[in-house]
Amino acid sequence: MDIKQYLDSTYLKTAAGAGLTEPENLEIVKSTVAEAIQQGFKLVMIRPEAVTTAKEMITDAGSAVLVGTVIDFPDGTGSLEDKLTEAQQAVHDGADELDFVLDYNAFKAGDAAKVKQQVLACTRFVLQHGKVAKWIIEVAALTDMEIIKLSALVKNVVISNFEEKDYCKVFVKSSTGFYKTDDGRPNGATLHTVKLMLENCFPLPVKAAGGVRTFKEAEEMIGLGVKRIGTSSAKAIAQGGTAQDGY
């Protein structure tokens, strides 16, 4: 098993969030991309404004590393039009995979129809452009039953509207890494939440984002059936170390 092909090396902090200037933050983005190229990770996940830079670096290096970015991040409360506008720009800039934050707040408030509409329209757009979509459900904000229902909702939209050959291109993803929890509870993937996702979104693939801190934990997730792992410490995990960052 080549664990690097499961790793989405991730840097999603804004300059303000990192306490840096814009040029300083861009340098971290560039170093993250350069490391992904050097290490041969599956993908580098960065914010939309850095997609063009990342794509140019990867193309210049002749690398096969994919570029992923986030849409309606981190809250997911934008309109369908907002999500599609961001998605159109990301595709234009060269993104290979688009990780949408699902409007879990609308779902929790009882508006499943809104969520289904967004999943359908955005997934259709992504597949029409030959890209991969991932739907972030934010497990730390949900009860077990809500995780079950949201995972099934995404699955049902996909299998009802798209061909079987496309199922592998629509992921259900655990977390943004930006959700604030109480009492030190995990805000990323756990074995428990990932099992719920896997059981209820099959045959769609699952991405475990955040919370995977060691090579052993990554192996456990892959053993469960996870197809991707999002982490800001991809190199440390791949080399058998321990993640130093919280994501």
pLDDT digit string, tens, across residues 110-165: 999 999 999 999 999 999 999 999 999 999 999 999 999 999 999 999 999 999 99
How far is it, in rounded angstroms, from Cα 52 to Cα 23?
Answer: 15
Give the model's pLDDT for residue 246: 61
How far is it, in rounded angstroms, from Cα 20 to Cα 5?
Answer: 31
User: What DSSP string runs through 163-210?
Assistant: -GGGGGGEEEE---S-PPPSTT---S--HHHHHHHHHHHTTS-EEEES
How far is it, in rounded angstroms, from Cα 132 to Cα 125?
Answer: 10
Asked if residues 200 and 155 have their Cβ atoms less than 8 Å apart, the reply is: yes
How far is it, in rounded angstroms, from Cα 234 to Cα 32?
Answer: 10
Give the model's pLDDT for residue 207: 98
How far is it, in rounded angstroms, from Cα 68 to Cα 87?
Answer: 11
75 is catalytic: no
Asked if residues 197 and 139 have their Cβ atoms less than 8 Å apart, the reply is: yes
Of 8, 72, 99, 103, the catalytic one is 99
How far is it, in rounded angstroms, from Cα 195 to Cα 206?
Answer: 10
In the chain, pLDDT over 70 holds for what percent of residues?
A: 98
State the residue for tokens 């350069």.
34
Give the model's pLDDT for residue 156: 98
CA angle 243, 45, 154 (to 5 degrees): 105
Top-level class of domain 3-238: alpha beta
Q: Model-level pTM?
A: 0.95
Structure letter (DSSP) for residue 214 = B
Asked if residues 13 and 29 have their Cβ atoms less than 8 Å apart, the reply is: no
How far is it, in rounded angstroms, from Cα 118 to Cα 246?
Answer: 30
Amino acid at residue number 42: K
Q: Where are the alpha helices (DSSP H) in 40-76?
A: 51-61
**Would you kindly state where each structural domain of the chain is located, as residue ranges?**
3-238
Residues of the chain with pLDDT under 70: 243-246
207 is catalytic: yes
3-state secondary structure of 95: coil
* φ, ψ dihedrals at 227, nearest 5°: -100, -20
State the residue for tokens 């029409």.
128
Of 13, 134, 155, 207, the catalytic one is 207
Give the model's pLDDT for residue 243: 67
Give the model's pLDDT for residue 67: 98
Of 42, 55, 169, 173, the catalytic one is 173
